């Protein structure tokens, strides 16, 4: 049994299949450029689908781009987002819309909140630029902006406008079944460090913020999943979250969407055994929290530089643990170069070959377990069939790794049909027997150059 697969801890598609999301964040580069759209073209999206076998994207949007002036909504921006979102959804890829922010917003040197949403403006620079960017959260003006936003009491209009900005987005996507969910706010941060670390921020301010935002979305959309995050500071490293159980209203479609950035990724050192132990702890805590929230888990961000020694081992351990938890994920980020799976010329970087692996794209039944042997590249999955779901089970088998040259062995039943679908990078399986344990094994048969 998968660690994270409690009764409610699964993401289902409109046919009732259980789905696991694998994909990229698109894109960091959109934060500070005019228009705020990512680097990607439709051909790049198609490559993610047809070559890499990704079935999802975490697509960044910004409150500051939606409502750049108070009460003025940028419909052109939203139309441009819609156009790009449809590049994915027309291919039946799932889109998670991420209302992104780092360092609060544009008024204080960050991204996300519009300038007008800070009474503070950045006039001093106390934190050196050479420090990791998130240390800018220690700037007094940034701290005060977060406090004004989350405290709510004295500046209610900030959250009210944030909610209204979300409703503009919801309005545009609520009828698109492949827009799987809304990630309410990227990496919420409480401003005050002690309040943040001691749990007060999550228990009160963040929890209350979700209690306002979730019902507002549910009043117009009861179909999408709502993805919510714990605080980022400390939790990204593996500390525990203090968020009280988050509740949905009228439906129960919640996804817990923490980020995973081990300390070694940002500060010093290569990947070592102690980091693997810390990673194990990160998963143990997140699994328990997802269970508490009765939510599936989606690791909305993880990533690192391929110049880190042990980056490959880290990614293997990370994704093995994600498979054991049944967690979905989005790699940070698709931006070419740097940490990206593509280099500056859009050629595969060493990251790509570590994050591609087969996975259950959509399963007609109950997934019991799935894993990849990172040495042999053999994939195994067990599930219990459900013939009341007419759609095929789909297993992604990335072409970039397998060159469509692989064998599939299905055991547990002889009553099935299966075929390799080259266009979608996947194996399609239809089982005729209900409620039976089926085992699927996929293994490469050629000496493909890519692994």
- Please report, as ranges, the residues that interact with ligand IDC according to CB under 6 A: 28, 31, 102, 111, 133, 186-187, 236, 259, 261, 301, 332
Closer residue to ligand IDC, CB minimum distance, 54 or 332: 332
Closer residue to ligand IDC, CB minimum distance, 131 or 133: 133
Cβ at position 133, least distance to ligand IDC in Å: 4
Cβ at position 285, least distance to ligand IDC in Å: 17
Closer residue to ligand IDC, CB minimum distance, 132 or 432: 132
Cβ at position 330, least distance to ligand IDC in Å: 11
Closer residue to ligand IDC, CB minimum distance, 287 or 301: 301
Closer residue to ligand IDC, CB minimum distance, 355 or 438: 355
Cβ at position 28, least distance to ligand IDC in Å: 4
What would the 3-class secondary structure string for the chain be? CCCCCCCCCCEECCCCCEECCEEEEECHHHCCCCCCCCCCCHHHHHHHHHCCCCCEEEEEECHHHHCCECCECCHHHHHHHHHHHHHHHCCCCEEEEEECCECCEHHHCCECECHHHCCCCCCCCCCCCCCCHHHHHHCHHHHHHHHHHHHCCCCHHHHHHHHHHHHHHHHHHCCCCCEEEEECCCCCCCCCHHHHHHCHHHHHHHHHHHHHHHHHHHCCCCCCEEEECCCCCCCCCCCCCCCCCCCCCCCCCEEECCECCCHHHHCCCCCCHHHHHHHHHHHHHHHHHHHHCCCEEEECECCCCCCCCCHHHHHHHHHHHHHHHCCEEEECCCCCCCCCCECCCCCECHHHHHHCCCEEEEECEEEEEEEECCCCCCEEEEEEECCCCCCCEEEECCHHHHCCCEEEEEECCCCEEEEEECCCCEEEEEECCCCCEEEEEEEECCCCCCC
Closer residue to ligand IDC, CB minimum distance, 164 or 285: 285
Cβ at position 102, least distance to ligand IDC in Å: 4
Cβ at position 95, least distance to ligand IDC in Å: 18
């Amino acid at each position: 049994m998968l660690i994270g697969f409690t009764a409610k801890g699964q993401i289902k598609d409109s046919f009732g299949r259980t789905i696991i999301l694998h994909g990229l964040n698109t894109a960091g580069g959109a934060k500070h450029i005019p228009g705020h759209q990512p680097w990607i073209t439709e051909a790049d999206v198609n490559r993610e689908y047809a070559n890499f076998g990704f079935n999802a994207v975490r697509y960044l949007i910004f409150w500051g781009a939606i409502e750049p002036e108070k009460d003025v909504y940028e419909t052109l921006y939203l139309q441009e987002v819609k156009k790009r979102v449809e590049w994915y959804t027309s291919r039946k890829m799932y889109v998670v819309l991420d209302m992104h922010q780092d360092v609060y917003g544009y008024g204080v040197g960050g991204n996300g909140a519009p300038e007008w949403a800070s009474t503070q403006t950045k006039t001093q620079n106390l934190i050196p630029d050479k420090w990791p960017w998130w240390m800018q959260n220690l700037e007094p003006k940034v701290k005060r902006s977060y406090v004004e936003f989350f405290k709510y009491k004295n500046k209610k209009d900030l959250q009210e406008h944030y909610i209204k900005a979300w409703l503009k987005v919801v309005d545009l996507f609520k009828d698109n079944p492949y827009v799987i969910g809304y990630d309410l706010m990227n990496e919420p941060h409480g401003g005050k460090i002690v309040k943040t670390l001691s749990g007060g921020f999550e228990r009160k301010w963040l929890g209350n913020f979700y209690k306002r935002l979730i019902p507002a979305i549910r009043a117009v959309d009861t179909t999408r999943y709502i993805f919510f995050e714990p605080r980022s500071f400390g939790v990204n490293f593996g500390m525990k979250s203090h968020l009280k159980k988050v509740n949905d209203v009228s439906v129960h479609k919640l996804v817990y969407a923490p980020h995973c950035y081990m300390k070694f990724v940002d500060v010093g050192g290569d990947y070592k055994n102690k980091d693997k132990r810390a990673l194990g702890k990160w998963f143990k805590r997140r699994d328990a929290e997802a269970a508490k929230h009765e939510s599936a888990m989606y690791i909305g961000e993880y990533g690192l530089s391929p110049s880190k020694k042990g980056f490959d081992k880290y990614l293997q351990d990370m994704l093995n643990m994600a498979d054991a938890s049944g967690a979905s994920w989005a790699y940070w980020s698709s931006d070419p170069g740097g940490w990206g799976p593509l280099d500056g010329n859009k050629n595969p970087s060493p990251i790509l070959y570590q994050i591609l692996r087969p996975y259950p794209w959509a399963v007609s039944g109950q997934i019991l377990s799935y894993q990849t042997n990172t040495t042999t590249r053999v994939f195994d999955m067990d599930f219990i069939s459900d013939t009341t779901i007419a759609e095929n089970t789909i297993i992604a088998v990335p072409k970039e790794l397998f060159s469509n040259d692989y064998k599939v062995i299905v055991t547990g039943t002889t009553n099935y049909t299966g075929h390799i679908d080259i266009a979608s990078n996947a194996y399609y399986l239809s089982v005729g027997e209900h409620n039976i344990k089926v085992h699927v094994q996929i293994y490469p048969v050629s000496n493909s150059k890519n692994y």
